[in-house]
Structure 1
Amino acid sequence: MTETLDGRHIVVTGGTGALGGAVVGKLLEQGAVCHVPNAHAAAPSHFPFTTHDRVRLAHNVDLSDSAKVEAFYHQLPELWGSIHLAGGFTMAPVEKIESASFAEMMDTNARTTFLCCRAAVRSMLASNTAGRIVNVSARAGLEPRRGSGMVAYAASKAAVAAMTLAMAEELKGKGILVNAVAPSTLDTPANRTDMPDADFSKWVSLEAVAEAIAYLASPANLAMSGTLVPLYGRA
């Protein structure tokens, strides 16, 4: 088995976001073909790979819609990897969390991850591919006591972590490796704007997270499965 990603097809959900752009860029450097589902009718203007010859954008794909997720994965060439970055974040004291807000967090983070994992597994099993799945949990999902106001977010990311472990165990005899990264605060322009007084040097760089994800998704990863990789920077 070659240890490169040359010509291998990898899905990157959330690929047009800040972390997504870093991950797509890293995978392209290693020769992968990136399939990026986008919820909107066009890619955002800041996405740098719209015209790249190894980036396949698919628009109007609602990742919380089971039928649309299945249709997106069904039309892909032989799938090597699926990386699930799509998600959201919200904060509120527990007494102020509405039922709809809690459900939205679970849909945005946990449901989308499940639907994409399921579709990816179906594709890999159909083609007998010993592929790679990488999910994104969060520090709050592994250490929910660390912050306040994150009950819904922590629960949704804890669900992602639990799914990752359960799937890795279920699929270990079929050659599909399933892992997740769990970053703390990412050093993104949006986070710097929202938290201007924070010490940015303690945050996790997009490059560091992209590097970890690319390794977990690569053929060079021969044994890691069922691993939740904490990426906490200096925090």
Structure 2
Amino acid sequence: MTETLEGRHIVVTGGTGALGGAVVGRLLEQGAICHVPNAHAAAPQHFPFTTHDNVKLAHNVDLSDPAKVEAFYSQVPTLWGSIHLAGGFAMAPVEKIESASFAEMMDTNARTAFLCSRAAIRSMLASDTAGRIVNVTARAGLDPRRGAGMVAYTASKAAVAAMTVAMAEELKAQGILVNAVAPSTLDTPANRADMPDADFTKWVSLEAAAEAIAYLASPANQAMSGTLVPLYGRA
């Protein structure tokens, strides 16, 4: 088996975001063909790969809708990898979290990861492809003590972590490797704007996170599965 991504088809949900753009860029450098679902009618202006030959954008894809997820994955030829970066974040004291807000976090983070993983697994099994799945949990998802003030978010990311390990165990015989990364604070423009007094040097760079994700999604990863990779930087 070749250890490159040249010509391999990879889905990147959340691919038009800050981390998504870094991941798509790293995959393109390695020759991958990136399929990027977008919830809106057009890609955001800041997405730099809209016209790239190896980027296939699909618009109006609601990743919480099972039918739309299945339809999106059905048009990807011989799927090799599926990377799930789409998600959301919310903070609130536990006594102020409404049921709808909790459900929204579970839908945005855990449900989308499940639906996309399931669609990817179905595609890989149908084509007998020993592919790769990469989810994104969070530091708080692995250590809930860090989830004070963001209980709904922490619960949703803990669910992603648990699903990742369970799926990896279930799919061992098929050779499909399932892993997740668990970042702490990522060094994004939005996070810098929200926390202007923080020490940005302690945060995780988008390039470092993208490199780890690209490795887990690559055929060079021959043995890692069921792993929750901490990306904590210097925090």
The normalised TM-score by structure 1 is 1.00
- How far apart are residue 147 of structure 1 and its match? 4.0
Supply the distance in 2 between the matched residues of 1:147 and 1:6 (Cα, whole angstroms): 39
Structure 2 residues without counterparts, runs of 5 or longer: none
Instruction: Give the match's secondary structure for 1:43.
Output: coil
Give the counterpart letter for 2:98 in structure 1. Answer: E
Residue by residue over 1:137-160, the C-alpha shift from the partner in whole angstroms, topping out at 9 and shown as x without a partner, is 000100110242110000000000
Alpha-carbon distance, 1:190 to partner? 0.2
Aligned Cα RMSD in Å?
0.4
Code of the residue aligned with 1:114 in structure 2: it is F
CA–CA separation in structure 1 for the residues paired with 2:146 and 2:222: 33
- Aligned residue number for residue 95 of structure 1: 95
AA at the equivalent of 2:91: M
Deviations 1:68-91 (A, max 9, x none): 000000111000000000000000
Partners of 1:143 and 1:209 in 2: CA distance: 19
The residue that corresponds to 1:59 in the other structure is 59
Judge conservation of contact 2:113–2:135 (CA < 8 Å) in 1: yes
Amino acid at match of 1:151: V
Q: CA deviation at 1:199?
A: 0.7
CA distance in 1, matches of 2:49, 2:62: 21
Question: What SS does the aligned partner of 2:229 have?
Answer: strand
Query: 1:30 — aligned with what?
Result: 30
Q: What is the aligned partner in structure 2 of residue 202 from structure 1?
A: 202
Q: Which residue of 2 aligns with 1:50?
A: 50
Q: Deviations over 1:101-125 (max 9, x none)?
A: 0000000000000000000000000
Q: Deviations over 1:163-221 (max 9, x none)?
A: 00000000000010000000000000000000001111110000000000000000000
Q: Are the equivalent residues in 1 in contact too, given 2:14–2:20 (CA < 8 A)?
A: yes
Secondary structure of 1:145's aligned partner: helix
Counterpart residue number, 1:108: 108
Counterpart amino acid of 1:130? A
**Secondary structure at the counterpart of residue 212 of structure 1:** helix
What is the aligned partner in structure 2 of residue 167 from structure 1?
A: 167
- Letter in structure 1 aligned against 2:127: S
| Match of residue 141 from structure 1 | 141
Specify the code of the residue in structure 2 equivalent to 1:87: G
2:4 equivalent in structure 1: 4
Structure 2: how far apart are the matches of 1:142 and 1:154?
9
User: 1:150 — aligned with what?
Assistant: 150
- Segments of 4+ in structure 1 off by > 4 A? none
Matches of 2:181 and 2:219, distance apart in 1? 17
The residue number in structure 2 matching 1:130 is 130
Measure the CA separation in 2 of the matches of 1:68 and 1:209.
28
Q: TM-score, normalised by structure 2?
A: 1.00
Is the 8 Å Cα contact of residues 187 and 200 (structure 2) preserved in structure 1? yes
SS at match of 1:179: strand
Give the 3-state SS of the residue equivalent to 1:146 in structure 2: helix
Q: How many pairs were matched up? A: 235
Residue 15 of structure 1 aligns with an amino acid whose one-letter code is G
Q: Determine whether 1:76 maps to 2:76.
A: yes
Tell me if structure 1 keeps the 8 A contact 2:147–2:154.
no
Residue 212 (1) aligns with residue 202 (2): no
How far apart, in 2, do the equivalents of 1:135 and 1:165 lie? 10
